[in-house]
């Protein structure tokens, strides 16, 4: 049966604003603001969640620090996608025993995708007794209430029940000042790629109503944000759960009508749901960047089947051919996994061949990491780590050569860029991005930050372009 997307009722959300007020009043007698340190790991979706946590904390009266030792409240907003990410978090949790020893009143919270894993919350319950609050992404909207419970009961609070997930509108947000903003348009994932933990920790796919997304984008453009990224694990299935007769292409079309000088981009797209209609919409839009992050994961049809990706190598290549035919300036990036259980050297080389053939502008490359509870984690995995590393190195060499050549082709051209901040290179003190999200280090005046300018490209390497801002 079709699942109906569950919205948190406004009255329940209002109650959370009341808990924020209560916490605010609790701290009102203190001389200084309470201080929180929010450390976010993982993808942009988690970054967007971290900004909501900060929004709720600001409403509770908190100021912010990057130093856990100075904080009254430390929050680790975690990622579970690979083992390495999890190990880092357990390492950080270990370090926090010292800050808590110095300041026994310090509250320590663990949230995000790791917290939603039963295995992790059990380990924290048993072995990390200095952690006061553990909650998964499903409980993010009621963080003020959970924090209030910690402060008033002084007991450990766990809110980690498995759920399909909900949508909560109107949570306050602290955004980075500047030109870039993230807008989640949907949550969760239904795809169950066999290697991936995300569907287990983020619940089922659910889309925000189009009007809510449009309102948010409009207010961001009015506030001066110029580079807006729409987020979802698979934005191409946006709207499927709403049964409202609109899809992701329609959403892009509507956003494109919002007046202003801005770019809008999106991630991630799943090739099984990307359509020529989407590419046509991108091609004719004024604001949608001609940039596509379309993860292909493997160049071998057998491995793609084992991964449960539901497209073939040829279908992927033909999608890209179409996208490039309607957007010859398309900047294309992708995610790849090397060393999926049972992958042979020949199959890994099919991936390397696909990378060579397509010529991606940039690639996010990963060595397979087993995630307990996923289907792939129980498959036999005979290749050694050293073998996988060798295949991985070959992939990187091919991609780096491709990136360097694509970047070199910009030399001598004038491109429109958005100046988004300072760079750490004294010769090229500004950082900027092309429409395709290529990094351009620029010579120019700081007063250009936040503006679109024309830049003449003089030099390049594998990772960046270098140039000069032309007088406007
Ligand atoms: N939903 C997005 C998609 O399907 O393209 C990506 C989400 S995932 C957070 C980002 C990337 O991490 C994936 O595209 C995949 O390449 C990689 N990844 C996910 N699970 C992994 C695993 N178990 N080991 C290695 N890489 C993994
Ligand atoms: Fe993970 Fe696949 Fe969903 Fe992406 S589409 S989040 S890789 S299960
Ligand atoms: Fe993102 Fe990591 Fe969760 S990649 S969705 S924070 S598992």
Distance CA 184, CA 220 (A): 13
Give the side-chain half-sphere CA count within 13 A for 256.
17
- Mutate which of 191, 235, 267, 271 for ligand 2 pocket (most atoms within 8 A of beta carbon): 191
Distance CA 310, CA 323 (A): 19
CATH topology (fold) of 414-469: OB fold (Dihydrolipoamide Acetyltransferase, E2P) (2.40.50)
Give the ligand at the shortest distance from the Cα of 81.
3
**Which residues have a Cβ under 8 Å from the Cβ of 406 and sit 6 or more positions away?**
359, 361
C-alpha of residue 163 to centroid of ligand 3, in Å: 17
Please give the C-alpha separations between residue 290 and each of 45, 102, 168, 224, 329, in angstroms, as whole numbers.
Answer: 21, 51, 31, 21, 7
> What pLDDT shows up at residue 472?
77
What pLDDT digit, counting tens, does each position of 331-373 carry? 999 999 999 999 999 999 999 999 999 999 999 999 999 999 9
Ligand 1 within 6 A of CB of 335: yes
Distance CA 309, CA 298 (A): 9
Burial label for 307, CB within 10 Å (0-12, 13-18, 19+), is buried
Say how far residue 378 (Cα) sits from the centre of its chain: 27
C-alpha of residue 45 to centroid of ligand 1, in Å: 13
- Mutate which of 39, 40, 44, 45 for ligand 3 pocket (most atoms within 8 A of beta carbon): 45
Query: In this structure, which CATH number among 3.40.190.10, 3.80.30.20, 3.30.1330.10, 1.10.10.60 belongs to the domain 180-407?
Result: 3.80.30.20
DSSP lists the bridge partners of residue 338 as 367
Say how far residue 419 (Cα) sits from the centre of its chain: 22
> What pLDDT shows up at residue 239?
96
Please report, in tens digits, the pLDDT of each residue of the chain (472 residues total): 566 778 999 999 999 999 999 999 999 988 889 999 999 999 999 999 999 999 999 999 999 999 999 999 999 999 999 999 999 999 999 999 999 999 999 999 999 999 999 999 999 999 999 999 999 999 999 999 999 999 999 999 999 999 999 999 999 999 988 899 999 999 999 999 999 999 999 999 999 999 999 999 999 999 999 999 999 999 999 999 999 999 999 999 999 999 999 999 999 999 999 999 999 999 999 999 999 999 999 999 999 999 999 999 999 999 999 999 999 999 999 999 999 999 999 999 999 999 999 999 999 999 999 999 999 999 999 999 999 999 999 999 999 999 999 999 999 999 999 999 999 999 999 999 999 999 999 999 999 999 999 999 999 999 999 999 998 7
> What pLDDT shows up at residue 354?
98
> What pLDDT shows up at residue 2?
66
Cis bond upstream, residue 361 (ω within 30): no
Q: Is the dihedral of CA 141, 144, 145, 147 positive or negative?
A: positive
- The domains of the chain are located at 3-159, 180-407, 414-469
Atom of ligand 2 nearest to the CA of 196: 1
Does pTM surpass 0.95?
Answer: yes
Which residue has a Cα nearest atom 1 of ligand 3? 43
Ligand 2 within 6 A of CB of 375: no
CATH number for the domain formed by residue range(s) 3-159:
3.40.50.280
C-alpha of residue 190 to centroid of ligand 3, in Å: 15
Burial label for 11, CB within 10 Å (0-12, 13-18, 19+), is exposed
SS3 of 369, please? coil
Distance CA 157, CA 387 (A): 44
Please determine whether the domains at 3-159 and 180-407 fall in the same fold group of CATH.
Answer: no
What pLDDT digit, counting tens, does each position of 234-281 carry? 999 999 999 999 999 999 999 999 999 999 999 999 999 999 999 999
Give the side-chain half-sphere CA count within 13 A for 217.
33
């Amino acid at each position: 049966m079709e699942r109906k997307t569950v919205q948190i009722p406004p009255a329940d959300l209002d109650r959370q604003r009341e808990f924020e007020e209560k916490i605010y009043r609790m701290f009102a007698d203190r001389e200084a603001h309470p201080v929180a340190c929010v450390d976010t790991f993982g993808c942009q979706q988690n970054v967007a969640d971290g900004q909501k946590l900060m929004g709720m904390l600001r409403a509770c009266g908190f100021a912010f620090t990057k130093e856990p030792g100075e904080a009254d409240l430390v929050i680790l907003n975690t990622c579970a996608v690979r083992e390495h990410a999890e190990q880092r978090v357990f390492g950080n949790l270990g370090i926090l025993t010292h800050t808590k020893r110095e300041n026994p009143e310090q509250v320590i919270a663990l949230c995000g995708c790791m917290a939603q894993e039963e295995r992790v919350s059990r380990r924290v319950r048993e072995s990390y007794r200095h952690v006061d609050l553990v909650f998964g992404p499903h409980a993010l909207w009621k963080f003020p209430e959970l924090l209030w419970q910690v402060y008033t009961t002084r007991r450990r609070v766990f809110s980690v029940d498995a759920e399909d997930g909900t949508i909560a509108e109107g949570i306050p947000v602290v955004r980075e000042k500047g030109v870039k903003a993230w807008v989640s348009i949907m949550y969760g994932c239904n795809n169950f790629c066999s290697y991936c933990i995300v569907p287990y920790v983020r619940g089922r796919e659910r889309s925000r109503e189009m009007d809510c997304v449009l309102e948010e984008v409009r207010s961001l453009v009015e506030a001066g944000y110029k580079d807006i990224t729409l987020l979802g694990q698979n934005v191409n299935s946006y709207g499927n759960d709403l049964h409202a007769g609109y899809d992701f292409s329609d959403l892009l079309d509507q956003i494109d009508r919002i007046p202003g000088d801005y770019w809008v981009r999106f991630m991630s797209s799943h090739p099984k749901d990307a359509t020529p209609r989407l590419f046509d919409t991108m091609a004719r839009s004024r604001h949608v960047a001609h940039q596509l992050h379309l993860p292909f994961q493997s160049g071998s049809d057998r491995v793609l089947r084992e991964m449960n990706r539901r497209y073939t190598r040829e279908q992927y290549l033909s999608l890209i051919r179409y996208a490039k035919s309607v957007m010859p300036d398309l900047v294309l990036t992708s995610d790849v996994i090397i060393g999926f259980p049972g992958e042979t050297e020949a199959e890994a080389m099919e991936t390397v061949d696909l990378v060579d053939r397509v010529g991606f502008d940039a690639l996010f490359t990963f060595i397979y990491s087993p995630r307990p509870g996923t289907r792939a984690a129980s498959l036999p995995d005979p290749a050694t780590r050293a073998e996988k590393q060798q295949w991985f190195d070959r992939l990187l060499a091919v991609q780096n050569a491709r990136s360097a050549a694509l970047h070199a082709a910009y030399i001598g051209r004038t491109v429109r860029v958005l100046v988004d901040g300072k760079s750490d290179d004294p010769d090229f003190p500004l950082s900027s991005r092309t429409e395709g999200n290529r990094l351009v280090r620029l010579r120019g005046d700081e007063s250009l930050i936040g503006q679109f300018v024309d830049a003449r490209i003089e030099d390049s390497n594998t990772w960046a372009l270098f140039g000069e801002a032309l007088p406007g």
